[in-house]
């Protein structure tokens, strides 16, 4: 069973990617998601999943800034039961995400609103190990 996802059925399709908290992480994560969904023959979900991956990884990168010396990892899991796709992104910051009420002229602050709008459900939790947090979203077919 996947952490943070309540299910009684197994998740036969799973992918994992670890990225450095670097500027190239977001395009790498998006490309990975698109290619994995193509391989899984779930191309119909690709645009939405790619956008959600982009938002969640971007938020994880921002949350990782200044945590520890060196490059903190960001971890991405994609899982599917061939109908739903679950996106999970881990970062080392234990602070839970908070949806902001961004002003119209603001250049940022709408990421979680977008995640809420595009996903069937989303949430966040703090795993026991290795700490930090996981933010997840589900795309349903």
Nearest to 28 by CA among 48, 50, 59: 50
Q: At what angle do helices 25-39 and 46-64 cross, to 10 degrees?
A: 150
Terminal C-alpha separation, the chain: 20
pLDDT higher than 60, residue 2? no
Please, which residues have CB within 8 angstroms of residue 15's CB and are 6 or more apart in sequence? Answer: 32, 36, 77, 78, 79
Encode 13-50: b = buried (16+ Cβ within 10 Å), e = exposed: bebebebebeeebbeebbebbbebbeebebeebbebbb
> What are the chain's domains?
13-139 (3.30.565.10)
Q: pLDDT, tens digit, for every residue of 29-67?
A: 999 999 999 999 999 999 999 999 999 999 999 888 877
Phi, psi of 54 (to 5 degrees): -60, -45
* Calpha distance 136→5 (Å, rounded): 9
What value does the mean pLDDT take over residues 89-114? 77
CA torsion through residues 58, 62, 85, 121, sign:
negative
Quick one: pLDDT band at residue 1, thresholds 50, 70, 90? very low
Q: What pLDDT does residue 21 have?
A: 83
Predicted confidence (pLDDT) at residue 9 exceeds the cutoff of 80: no
């Amino acid at each position: 069973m996947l952490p943070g996802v309540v299910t009684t059925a197994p998740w036969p399709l799973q992918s994992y990617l670890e990225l450095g908290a670097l500027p190239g992480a977001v395009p790498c994560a998006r490309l990975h998601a698109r290619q994995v969904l193509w391989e899984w023959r779930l191309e119909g979900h690709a645009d939405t999943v790619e956008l959600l991956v982009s938002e969640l990884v971007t938020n994880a990168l921002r949350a990782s800034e200044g945590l520890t010396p060196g490059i903190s990892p960001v971890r991405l899991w994609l899982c599917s039961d061939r109908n739903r796709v679950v996106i999970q992104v881990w970062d080392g910051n234990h602070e839970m995400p908070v949806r902001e009420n961004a002003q119209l002229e603001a250049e940022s602050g709408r990421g979680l609103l977008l995640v809420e709008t595009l996903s069937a459900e989303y949430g966040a939790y703090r795993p026991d190990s290795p700490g930090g947090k996981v933010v997840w979203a589900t795309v349903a077919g």
